[in-house]
Structure 1
Amino acid sequence: MTDDRFDDDRFDVWAPNAKTLSLVLDDATVPMTPAAEGWWTPADPVDAPAVARYGYLIDGAETPVPDPRSRRQPDGVHGLSQTFDPATFAWTDSAWTGRQLAGGSIYELHIGTFTPEGTLDSAIERLDHLVELGIDFVEILPVNGFNGTHNWGYDGVLWYTVHEGYGGPEAYQRFVDACHARGLAVIQDVVYNHLGPSGNYLPMFGPYLHEASSNTWGSSINIDGDQSGHVRDYILDNVLMWLGEYHVDALRLDAVHALEDSTAVHLLEEMAAEVDVLSAHVGRPLSLIAEADMNDPTLITSREANGYGLTGQWSDDFHHAVHVAVTGETTGYYEDFDSLDALAKVLTEGFFHNGTYSSFRGRVHGRPIDTAKTPTWRLVVCNQNHDQIGNRAIGDRLSATLNEHQLALAAVLTLTSPFTPMLFMGEEWGATTPWQFFTSHPEPELGEATAKGRIAEFSRMGWDESVVPNPQDLSTFTDSKLNWSELYAGPDGAVGDGASSQHARLFALYRDLLALRRTHSALTDPRFGEVSIEFDGESRVFVLNRGDVSILLNLGEQSATLPVVGEPPLVLLKTQDAVSLTADELSLPGFSAAILGPDAA
């Protein structure tokens, strides 16, 4: 019988701010001694079991705090850390070759509200739904350690952990492995621009934060100040952990505009270079997708052309243009998108604000994309996502105000656009459940401050502040869980009740649109030059031409008739039965769309 205890450096920690440091290991306290560059190591070799609870006493404190690189927090972010060896998992994805972002489709989900149970294992049981839908990438909102039982995930304080309520790191490995077994790539949403308000002990260890710099969510991360090299390593090592040890295929980088970096080589550029090295080593594509409020193509410009070399970035301008086109809402940041010109510009130039005046910001915003050299798929677009739903006053989806036909128009615009489409969980069947902003801060004062802060945020959007749900109420969280019975009825998991089900019809439309993307190469053609637009602002008829495929949308209530010149094409898809094509004309009822083109190649 072999002894499972061994000597190692698992308990070394970077803590240049500490004057004294001790390791608490199970029931023992072990003195630590300074090493090079602010690192500390146990004064004597540690004889520790493979699985051990541990923490650190800093400067004579009586209560230990977790390891900044903790892999498990069984008792929450204020408790002791627990060792975890990811190499013990028996992966079955050795044949997985990954997926490129080009031509792909993304499905964004939140583990806690995707299923009634809110766990990674229960999410595995719903993966076949995504396969049937035709999804390529599953994007998971942040899963790292936060204080409380439920949270959006953007209040994380321990970036190397997986929230125990979701199942912990072993469940995460099972989820990624199960995705790969079904041909689904995994995108993990990560937050490197701030830390949550409760359970952040990093400043006790070292200068992880900028004392004189802050962003919307609190103190900025120190990636360019004194001793920032180790902080950058802390981030870069975390990137490589997800992509390497956990077999994740891509990372979505939250709000990179909040990463203040004055160094010659921006952290994002350094990150992209490290990921390229890892990609070459593991032999599969690895992607980095930025969320940015800058409309700056530098992010997705190659490093050879003096860009950062990221794979893709979100385009909120697309969302805003589609939202206004299908809802008519023009308050707040939607104001500049109040004509179909905005939608046409986004589809042909990538950004609407590309050096133009933004009335919401009160200044010129963005810069142009080089459409001759930039592939369209580098922009990730949607008509709904966690931010654009959850940051509304009552977390209302498009389904709360639009009818079935209008929801279909939003789907067609998104899934036939020249960009990489992303769906938000439940969108594909017109889920009626809201997705609200929810927290579970145990500290009453923090919960109260969060609730007041939410109300203050909505004044510029013209929303009724009196209806904003309290993020701390449990019902705000439970009401946001998907109701799968809207689509799947009965013990056999059958979809809806056939033609009478609005949810089933919308699901079928999304499935058919994703299938068209796979069978008609024009719909995944990455060239901006292959996109052209025709529209009539008065009748609200909008035509998007993608090579030999034309997408015709009637965004208005009144019926419209369009002449057909030459040989009539095939109707590849229509959103209403009343859509009709003859040798001479195409008839589009109000709020309808048709896709015309040749047979699949």
Structure 2
Amino acid sequence: MTRHEPFSVWAPRADNAELVLGSDTVALEPAGDGWFVAPADTVAQASAAGDVDYGYLLDDEGPFPDPRSRRQPKGVHELSRTWDASAYAWGDHAWSGRPLAGGVIYELHIGTFTPGGTFDSAIEKLDHLVELGIDFVEVLPVNGFNGLYNWGYDGVLWYAVHEQYGGPTGYQRFVDACHQRGLAVIQDVVYNHLGPSGNYLPKFGPYLHDGSSNTWGASLNLDGEESDAVRDYIVDNVLSWFTDMHVDGLRLDAVHALRDNRATHILQEMAIQTERVSARLNKPLTLIAESDRNDPRTITPLEAGGIGMAGQWSDDFHHAVHANVTGEHDGYYADFAGIESLVKVLTRGFFHDGTYSSFRGHHHGAPIDTLRTPAWRLVVCNQNHDQIGNRAIGDRLTATLDENQLALVAGLTLLSPFTPMLFMGEEWAASTPWQFFTSHPEPELGTATAEGRIAEFAKLGWDPSIVPDPQDPETFEGSKLQWGEIEGDGIHGRTLELYRRLIHLRRSIPSITDPSFRDVTVHAPAETLLVIERPDVAILVNLAADTVELPDALAARLTGWSEALVSGDYTATPTLGAHTLVVLTREPLAASA
């Protein structure tokens, strides 16, 4: 059972539990099923005192922070602090939410999005996103982790918000500011593992599965003994983002690492409870999965027997675009060499849909039912935090592609029938890298992290001396966006204008966001020429460094169509210059477009 009383804690591994409340220590009362609760008079006194620091002693060991702590002002190893989620005066009463279909997502990391690295400083840049045409702001994890900064995937207190960013109230201000500008908020959350420092959950109960592990360590106990309370812990956290923080969606990290053999998978349970809250709040709420399985059941609705996620990230789209535009064919890019990979992902969603994956060494995935599945359920990108930050030096596409090539990847992403996602700074061809950075206070953990990172890339043939030290503060500082780059009419200003134009075209041409796979025709009449046709728009892409001739039949079919956007060399002849993107419409667009 789930308890919501103040100062209640699930600690089935303890015979006795005590509450450390300021300078006092109070014995907690057993309440059954492993729960301990504080005496009513203690709760009343604490409520009258306002925000207080507290923790739990378990069989005289501790005190430990509350597993459901909402604030950790002194770090994840210290006492928790009470926080009233209802105290904030919200100003988003007119906000009615935003469905994922037809939207554009912008992924950002609070610590490096602005020089200040806080929610309040991020608010100052929201108008930029509005002018760009963004619908959803996706925030990398902000829950409690040890240290001052990292990517956010080392969280150990899932209900708390990192204090250096502005804490939980700062987060509420950020979401409120987004809503008042018409921006929905998606929060990236991690339920598949816990960070290496500050994880006291095993002291309280069997939160982890002793016999199962994943890439990051022990798996969560989702299907073993006493797993009901663990599942409640996760689902309650999902719902708290929607109710206490007013977020509009969650991006669920690496759901393939959630080991769950129960009849109702934890993801289905999340989806069921999310639908209930959505109905109660009368606004759309979205769950997006990051999944490595290429399993179409992930995005199949609950009522059709699926997992019930609204959407999922599509790595196959990224890999096909990256391999064809950059020419990188190593590692997991090997299978995506050749323009046919682009044709397949644009028409069938997954590239590996039961085909052999040379990187994995086995057949992978299953086909999407393109007759019944809307394309918007796949979230696509040409860059994201993983695909940049997990490169040896964290280099963006800006480091290897010219301006016209950057336009190609932008056009393929933003003019696709899927849900496009941008990574912060991409829209102006930001020159700054986004590298892997940590700030582990424990010297041994910091050293192990740095050495492990270097060893990982040394195996791939990289010179260890060029791999940044994740513990070096300069690695973090150098990953912050330089907002001054967008001034002027150089590559940064031109790229920003291109992105604005592409998003505007996405809004102006209805067939671009038509989610039906059936109404799009994609073919490659030459090795480097990609043609995407819909009833009222044609997108021509020359991936080569040389000019390419359009086939006579295609040129004749498009004769008289209007140029809505041209990036590169195109003069309304059958010839496309090197790295050229052309968008043609059957009817001229309004002048404002």
- TM score, norm. by length of structure 2: 0.96
Aligned to 2:567: 575
Identify which range, 50-59 or 378-387, moves more after superposition: 50-59
Aligned to 1:20: 16
1:565 paired with 2:553, answer: no
Residues 35 and 41 of structure 1 are in contact (CA less than 8 Å); yes or no, is this contact kept in structure 2?
A: yes
Judged with a 3 Å threshold, the aligned counterparts in structure 2 of structure 1 residues 334 and 450 are, in CA distance, closer, same or farther, namely same
Residues 242 and 248 of structure 1 are in contact (CA less than 8 Å); yes or no, is this contact kept in structure 2?
A: yes
1:379 paired with 2:378, answer: yes
C-alpha separation between the residues in 1 aligned to 2:520 and 2:291? 24
3-state SS of 2:540 partner: strand
| One-letter amino acid matched to 2:342 | L
Aligned to 2:521: 532
- Structure 1 position 453, deviation (Å): 2.1
- Structure 1 position 43, deviation (Å): 4.5
Judged with a 3 Å threshold, the aligned counterparts in structure 2 of structure 1 residues 445 and 115 are, in CA distance, closer, same or farther, namely same
- Structure 1 position 44, deviation (Å): 5.7
- Structure 1 position 448, deviation (Å): 1.5
Aligned to 1:523: 512
- Structure 1 position 35, deviation (Å): 1.1
- Structure 1 position 497, deviation (Å): 1.7
3-state SS of 1:360 partner: coil
In the TM superposition, 1:210-289 aligns within 5 A as 210-289=209-288
Aligned to 2:57: 57
3-state SS of 1:159 partner: strand
- Structure 1 position 279, deviation (Å): 0.5
Residues 331 and 461 of structure 1 are in contact (CA less than 8 Å); yes or no, is this contact kept in structure 2?
A: no
| One-letter amino acid matched to 2:513 | T
1:143-178 CA distances to partner (integer Å, 9 max, x unpaired)? Answer: 000000001000000000110000001110000000
- Structure 1 position 33, deviation (Å): 2.0
Judged with a 3 Å threshold, the aligned counterparts in structure 2 of structure 1 residues 339 and 537 are, in CA distance, closer, same or farther, namely farther
- Structure 1 position 586, deviation (Å): 3.6
1:512-569 CA distances to partner (integer Å, 9 max, x unpaired)? Answer: 000111111111000001121121443x111111332111011101122324215410
C-alpha separation between the residues in 1 aligned to 2:543 and 2:183? 34
Judged with a 3 Å threshold, the aligned counterparts in structure 2 of structure 1 residues 136 and 462 are, in CA distance, closer, same or farther, namely farther
- Structure 1 position 91, deviation (Å): 0.5
Identify which range, 452-461 or 383-392, moves more after superposition: 452-461
Aligned to 2:111: 112
1:541 paired with 2:540, answer: no
| One-letter amino acid matched to 1:314 | W
Aligned to 2:177: 178
Aligned to 1:77: 76
Aligned to 2:202: 203
Aligned to 1:595: 583
Residues 53 and 80 of structure 1 are in contact (CA less than 8 Å); yes or no, is this contact kept in structure 2?
A: yes
In the TM superposition, 1:114-129 aligns within 5 A as 114-129=113-128
| One-letter amino acid matched to 2:35 | W
| One-letter amino acid matched to 1:230 | A
Residues 272 and 309 of structure 1 are in contact (CA less than 8 Å); yes or no, is this contact kept in structure 2?
A: yes
C-alpha separation between the residues in 2 aligned to 1:60 and 1:161? 25
C-alpha separation between the residues in 2 aligned to 1:570 and 1:189? 41
1:121-161 CA distances to partner (integer Å, 9 max, x unpaired)? Answer: 00000000000100000000000000000010000000001
Residues 451 and 470 of structure 1 are in contact (CA less than 8 Å); yes or no, is this contact kept in structure 2?
A: yes
C-alpha separation between the residues in 1 aligned to 2:454 and 2:357? 24
C-alpha separation between the residues in 2 aligned to 1:164 and 1:413? 38
Judged with a 3 Å threshold, the aligned counterparts in structure 2 of structure 1 residues 217 and 145 are, in CA distance, closer, same or farther, namely same
C-alpha separation between the residues in 1 aligned to 2:369 and 2:242? 30
* Structure 2 portions without partners, runs of 5+: none
1:40 paired with 2:31, answer: no
- Structure 1 position 466, deviation (Å): 3.7
| One-letter amino acid matched to 1:544 | I
Judged with a 3 Å threshold, the aligned counterparts in structure 2 of structure 1 residues 509 and 460 are, in CA distance, closer, same or farther, namely farther
3-state SS of 2:143 partner: coil
C-alpha separation between the residues in 2 aligned to 1:465 and 1:535? 40
Residues 564 and 589 of structure 2 are in contact (CA less than 8 Å); yes or no, is this contact kept in structure 1?
A: no
Residues 386 and 435 of structure 1 are in contact (CA less than 8 Å); yes or no, is this contact kept in structure 2?
A: yes
In the TM superposition, 1:118-197 aligns within 5 A as 118-197=117-196
C-alpha separation between the residues in 1 aligned to 2:493 and 2:291? 35
| One-letter amino acid matched to 1:142 | P
C-alpha separation between the residues in 1 aligned to 2:501 and 2:460? 35
C-alpha separation between the residues in 2 aligned to 1:56 and 1:444? 27
- Identity, in percent, stands at 63
Aligned to 1:497: 488
- Structure 1 position 600, deviation (Å): 4.4
Q: How many residues align?
A: 578
Aligned to 1:407: 406
1:554 paired with 2:542, answer: yes
1:332-368 CA distances to partner (integer Å, 9 max, x unpaired)? Answer: 0000001101111111110000001000000111010
3-state SS of 2:160 partner: coil
Aligned to 2:308: 309
Residues 251 and 289 of structure 2 are in contact (CA less than 8 Å); yes or no, is this contact kept in structure 1?
A: yes
3-state SS of 1:142 partner: coil
| One-letter amino acid matched to 1:224 | D
| One-letter amino acid matched to 1:505 | R
3-state SS of 1:264 partner: coil
1:187-240 CA distances to partner (integer Å, 9 max, x unpaired)? Answer: 000000000000000000010001111111111000111100000000000000
Aligned to 1:3: none
Identify which range, 39-48 or 199-208, moves more after superposition: 39-48
Residues 98 and 284 of structure 1 are in contact (CA less than 8 Å); yes or no, is this contact kept in structure 2?
A: yes
C-alpha separation between the residues in 2 aligned to 1:167 and 1:586? 56
C-alpha separation between the residues in 2 aligned to 1:341 and 1:348? 11
1:445 paired with 2:472, answer: no
| One-letter amino acid matched to 1:254 | D
Identify which range, 515-524 or 41-50, moves more after superposition: 41-50
1:277-318 CA distances to partner (integer Å, 9 max, x unpaired)? Answer: 111111111000000000001111011221011100000000
Aligned to 2:418: 419
Residues 136 and 184 of structure 1 are in contact (CA less than 8 Å); yes or no, is this contact kept in structure 2?
A: yes
Aligned to 1:492: none
1:359-417 CA distances to partner (integer Å, 9 max, x unpaired)? Answer: 00001110100001000000000000000000000000000111111111110010111
| One-letter amino acid matched to 2:70 | R
3-state SS of 1:161 partner: strand
- Structure 1 position 433, deviation (Å): 0.4
Residues 553 and 593 of structure 1 are in contact (CA less than 8 Å); yes or no, is this contact kept in structure 2?
A: yes
| One-letter amino acid matched to 1:9 | E
- Structure 1 position 42, deviation (Å): 2.0
C-alpha separation between the residues in 1 aligned to 2:346 and 2:521? 8
Judged with a 3 Å threshold, the aligned counterparts in structure 2 of structure 1 residues 461 and 299 are, in CA distance, closer, same or farther, namely farther
- Structure 1 position 429, deviation (Å): 0.5
- Structure 1 position 325, deviation (Å): 1.1
* Structure 1 portions without partners, runs of 5+: 1-7, 488-495
| One-letter amino acid matched to 1:579 | Y
C-alpha separation between the residues in 1 aligned to 2:57 and 2:526? 67
- Structure 1 position 459, deviation (Å): 5.5
Judged with a 3 Å threshold, the aligned counterparts in structure 2 of structure 1 residues 460 and 371 are, in CA distance, closer, same or farther, namely farther
